[in-house]
Amino acid sequence: MMDLLSTEDNEGCTPLHYACRLGIHDSVNNILVLQVSLERKSKDKKSALHFAAQYGRINTCQRLLETITDSRLLNEGDERGLTPLHLASGGGHTKVVELLLRKGALFHSDYKGWTCLHHAAAEGYTQTMKIVLATNTKLLDKLDDDGSTALHVAAREGQVAAVRLLLQRGAEISLNKSHASFFHEALQHRRKDVVNAIIDSDRCGDTLRTFKLDAGQRCPVLDLVDLLPESCKHLLDRCIRESEDDDNSPDHHIEYNFEWLQAPIALKKHAKADKSLKVQPLAALNAMVNYNRIELLTHPVCKKYLEMKWVAYGSAAHLLNLFVYLLGLLPLTHLIVSLRPSLDYTGPDNSTAVTMVPISFREVQYCTLNTRCM
């Protein structure tokens, strides 16, 4: 009997592993009564508790934890460094997570640096995230080996509810080792729902201002124009605020926020101090032109912004340019009008030469009249 219970399949799993995986409580009890070792691991170094936690078998987990005498099994990782708490969190098994935490499970990181909060956020299990954060708030801004927080992971995987929860809990908006914020991650993976949720949140401003120039990542607004123009339009729609007064009332007005169409003030000040940084004027509008975003260029906010720039200095610059152009055009026009060609026949081969002979305006007028008479 003991030989049969110790038999392994091709994956290194014993009957106890399968019983825990399937949650067959009676089989687990019968096997444990026979004093089968709980330290037996599969080829990927998973114990029976790993399987029970991964598949959310709460009764099996309770029975195993009653039998375990070595607390190391509770926090032992598999070949990827995943503990039972990681597996339960990644599966959204809230009851198992609560049980493991009550029994003393530690908040270890796996071999990628992910905590149980990273795993829960990646799959969008907000209830599990709340349980974990209620136990250890320091996990909120914990970094993995790439410098990414749970907020980065949730945004990358398109987990809208998880992103909202982390923002509401005050998660720090930081850059990872690739100098990408969680907003960059959502944009570059085309997570439209996440991007729109961020735009609608109270922390939209802080999010859009978090980037590092000349660090391999662009300003988030430029990524919006390029990758998700529909979300960029949503951002511009939120930049219009109309008063609640009647349209015919003198107090009726419309406010336009041009903040996201121009470089941040802090960045401009930094560029003045560091001459190596070059801040392109009208970068957002130029990006709309480069990517042929007609629907964005014709948006009321963009039209009002261009109108404001035209009144501020565009019209003056245009008139100055026109004046300089006329300074060259008028003398050239006078030169053309005041000279006429004359044909001279010279040499034995009857060759001709054309010369320009100055004439007066009066003579030109006279010749014109004679031509008409003829």
Q: DSSP characters for 282-308?
A: THHHHHHHHTT-HHHHTSHHHHHHHHH
Which among 223, 208, 185 is positioned nearest to 263, based on CA atoms? Answer: 208
Q: What is the tens place of the pLDDT at every residue in 49-58?
A: 999 999 999 9
Q: Using 50, 70 and 90 to split pLDDT, how confident is the model at 314?
A: confident
Contact 116, 86 (CB under 8 A): yes
Q: What is the tens place of the pLDDT at every residue in 71-101?
A: 888 999 999 999 999 999 999 999 999 999 9
Rounded average pLDDT over 307-315: 85
Listing DSSP states for 26-50 in one string gives HHHHHHHHTT--TT---TT---HHH
pLDDT, residue 256, reads 92
The bridge status of strand 240-242 relative to strand 254-256 is: antiparallel
Rounded average pLDDT over 271-288: 73
Q: What is the tens place of the pLDDT at every residue in 102-129?
A: 999 999 999 999 999 999 999 999 999 9
Listing DSSP states for 245-269 in one string gives S-TTSTT--EEE--GGGS--HHHHH
pTM of the model: 0.81
Burial of 130 (0-12, 13-18, 19+ CB in 10 A): middle
Q: What is the tens place of the pLDDT at every residue in 233-247?
A: 999 999 999 888 887
To 5 degrees, how large is the angle CA 47–CA 52–CA 54? 95
Per domain, the residue ranges of the chain are 1-106, 324-373
Q: Using 50, 70 and 90 to split pLDDT, how confident is the model at 364?
A: very low
CATH (residue range 1-106): 1.25.40.20
Look at residue 345 and give its three-state secondary structure: strand
Which range (103-107, 255-259, 260-264) has the least confidence? 260-264
Q: What is the tens place of the pLDDT at every residue in 183-233?
A: 999 999 999 999 999 999 999 999 999 988 766 788 899 999 999 999 999
pLDDT, residue 370, reads 45
Residues forming a β-bridge with 342: 355
Q: How many other CB atoms sit within 10 Å of the CB of residue 373? A: 6
